[in-house]
Every structure is written in C-alpha cells, then in structure tokens.
Structure 1
Amino acid sequence: MSAQLGFDALLSSADQINANRQVERESAHLPGAMEEALPFYRALIERHHAAMLAGDAAAVLECHREAHRLAEKLNGYEPGIIADEDAPGCVLDRETRAPDGAVPLWGQSGSFEITVGTMRARIRIDGLFGIASGYFVWPGFDARVVDLDQPFISETGYRSFLGISGALEPGHTPDSFAAAVVEAHVRRELKGCLLTIKPEYRR
C-alpha cells in the first residue's frame, strides 16, 4: 500500500510539473515585469475593446485569458492575482483605470453616469479582472443612486448586475450597455415602476 501511495505522489508531482511547464510556454511571449506589462496591458484593453465593438466573442474571451496569463506570470505563477491591492491584477487594473466620469473602453474599469428615462445612476463597471471574467463576455457592474430624493431601481440606492449572459451585440459601448441592462431590469423586474429610496439610505 505504501509503495502505491508513493507512486501516486510521483504521478501527481509529474502532472503538476507538466502543467507548470505548459503555463510557462503559453506565457513565454508575455512581459515578466510590471514596467513592461502596463503598456502591454493597455494594448490588450484596446484589442479587447475592438473585439467587443465587433461582437467577436472568441476574441473577447481570448483577451480575458491573455490578461489572466499576464497577471499569473507577474505573480510567479502563484494563485492570488487579485488577492489584495498590490496583487498584479489589481495593479494592472488600477493603473489603467479610466478617469472618473469618463466612459471607459471595454475591458477598462471605470465609473460614469447614465440616464435612463428621468433616473440618473452612477455606474461602476469591471475591467478584465472583474468577477467571473473569462466566463461571461459582458462585464459586471453596479449602479448607485445619484439623486437621493428621486425614485431608483432599488430602495437602498444600490443594485449590482453580475453574471450577465447573452450573445454579444456589436456596437454597444459600456454606457449604452449599462443603460440597456438597467432599462430591461426596470421593464421586466420592476414592471416599469421605480422604487422610493428608504429614509435610512438617504445619506
């Protein structure tokens, strides 16, 4: 039995070594230092943006994979690429974030306002390292109330939209996408009726 366990351990170790070598081969073309990684990542965002506008889902997902491979290489192929603010994924995201108020490129995180009907909302949208990135082509985002004395899509003044599925629609920009999702939520889930912000959240 002990000999069998030893053999299993050797096989497991060999599998891990082979897996690590495969990852290193796939990442050989990627920068290994943050100084070189940032311009590479900015170009990757631009490539991702073009793929989103074109409705090319395969290219979009490949950009997600490339971003994660880059962060993994910068992290020494260890887990935790977005573990804290100094993790490679977080640094890449933060250093390429769109200016506050400006609509970001697809794949770039940012915060901006939209108007749906008469309702204003502050949108904070994920970049390439957002939740479920690589599984969904559409990024997650959250919406926060701007006018506390006006009806909103939730009584708390906050609503997140994660795991958005559906085929890509060419031509959408992050602001038009967020507006379309919020509008659909109001129409389908709220039956066209916005909600009054509860007093305890009007601060």
Structure 2
Amino acid sequence: MSILTDADLTAAQVMVVRYHQAILASDFTGAGKVRADYRELCTHLSGATLVGSVPGASSSGERLDMALAAEDGVEPLWGQRGRFLVVVDGLPAVVKTLGLSSTWNVFTFYAVEAKAPFIGPSGYRTHYCAPAPGKMPAEQAVDVLRQLIRADLRPMPSLSATTVQQIQTLAALPFVVAMLAHFSDSAAPALQLHLF
C-alpha cells in the first residue's frame, strides 16, 4: 500500500471536479476519460497493478475516495463520496454516494425512521443509474427517490435490533437532526399520506 501524497490528492481532486463539470455539461465522453484517468492513478498508486486498486478499505481507490469525500450533510460533486439528507413527499432518507473509483453511479437510500414505511424492507435501498445530464447529484437522488416511493413504498416488517440501531444511529447524525429540525408540523400531513 503506497502513501497518498499531496500531489496524488490534488490530482485526484482535480479529476473529481473535471468529472463533475463534464456530467453537468452532458459530456459523457469527457467524463469517461476522467474516470479512466482516475483509474490509472489508482493503478499507479497500487504499484502499477489493478490488484488492490479498488476493493477494500486499504485500496488506493478507496483511500482516495475517502480522502476526497464531501463533508457529511453537504451535497457531493459527481464522482465524490458523500452522505446527505433528502426529504421527498414527506419521506426523509439519508443518501450515500460512492466516489469516482466505483464502477457505477450509485445512490443508496437509508431510512431515518424505524417505524415509518420505506422503499426497502430492511431500511435501505441501493439504486444504480447513469448520472443525469445537467443535474446535481441531490437533484437526481430526489428524482430517483420519488420514483421509488411511487413504486415501492411499503411498511417495513419487524426489523432486527441491529437494523433498528443502525437507523437510530443515522437519525442521530448532526446533519440529519439539523435538517429535520427545519420541518414544521406542516410536514405532518405529507407524512400521514404514507402511513398504511
């Protein structure tokens, strides 16, 4: 495992910004080139081999993604790892995105209320998709979540104690608490629509 230098981090950060700009400009050829360059940097950092370049916490890709992650609660750039909260049709969900080393654009939605209906029976749902041209990650996450709510919102079955604890841990994150505090009782009718 090689040490990430300031030069490596700067190069990777520039690539993430270029990737984000390419997606917003609907330049998927440019975005693909940036992703290839990022993969090349990961390979270089793994001793010129793909072994150890992506999977696992100690891999070069994972370490770069973690080092460049957006601050919790702040919308990430395309190609940047992050966690933020969205509320769609009264349903709050923590959204997790992966970094540029991931093969796919992924939104994973996590419940923050253990007793409320959700789009996945175990309190989370992963959705793979291409980045939406010209949209920010949170805009696309809201669109995806809205579609999933319409198609798959269901009461969660009895959850294990571990799952309930994980949901409570997410609900207690400072950015989740702060954002949910901004919702007043006027949000209650929207929440009631989803109670079965």
Normalising by the smaller structure, the TM-score range is 0.7 to 0.9
Which residue of 104, 108, 132 corresponds with 1:142?
108
**In structure 2, distance between residues paired with 1:84 and 1:37:** 19
Establish whether residue 95 from structure 1 lines up as the match of residue 67 from structure 2. Answer: yes
Correspondences of 1:123-202 after superposition (within 5 Å)? 123-130=95-102, 132-133=103-104, 139-162=105-128, 164-165=129-130, 168-170=132-134, 172-187=135-150, 189-190=151-152, 194-201=153-160
Query: Identical aligned pairs, as a percentage?
Result: 26
The question of whether the paired residues in 2 share the 8 Å contact of 1:125 and 1:142 is answered with: yes
Aligned to 2:167: none
Q: Distance in 2 between matches of 1:104 and 1:33?
A: 21
Contact 1:96 1:108 in 2 (8 A): yes
The offset of 1:35, in angstroms, is 2.9
| Structure 2 SS opposite 1:148 | coil
Shift of 1:76: 1.4
Instruction: Please show how residues 40-59 of structure 1 align to structure 2 within 5 Å.
Output: 40-59=11-30
Which amino acid in structure 2 is aligned with residue 143 of structure 1? F
Please point out which of 85, 109, 121 is paired with 1:113: 85
Distance in 2 separating the partners of 1:39 and 1:119: 37
Residue identity opposite 2:67 in structure 1:
E
Report the residue type matching 1:169 in the other structure.
P
Q: Which has the larger radius of gyration?
A: 1
Q: Tell me if structure 1 keeps the 8 A contact 2:132–2:140.
A: no
TM-score, normalised via structure 1 length: 0.72
Q: What SS is found at the alignment partner of 2:32? A: helix
Contact 1:34–1:74 (CA under 8 A) maintained in structure 2: no
Query: Which has the higher mean CA deviation after the structures are superposed, 100-109 or 141-150?
Result: 141-150
2: CA distance between counterparts of 1:33 and 1:181?
A: 35
For residues 127 and 48 of structure 1, what CA distance do their matches in structure 2 show?
11
Q: Residue 106 of structure 1 contacts residue 173 of structure 1 at CA under 8 Å; is this kept in 2?
A: yes
Give TM-score scaled by structure 2 length. Answer: 0.75
* Corresponding letter in the other structure for 1:75: S
Q: Distance in 1 between matches of 2:158 and 2:75?
A: 31
5+ long unaligned stretches in structure 2: 165-196
Corresponding residue number in structure 2 for 1:38: 9
- In 2, the alpha carbon distance for the partners of 1:118 and 1:168 equals 23
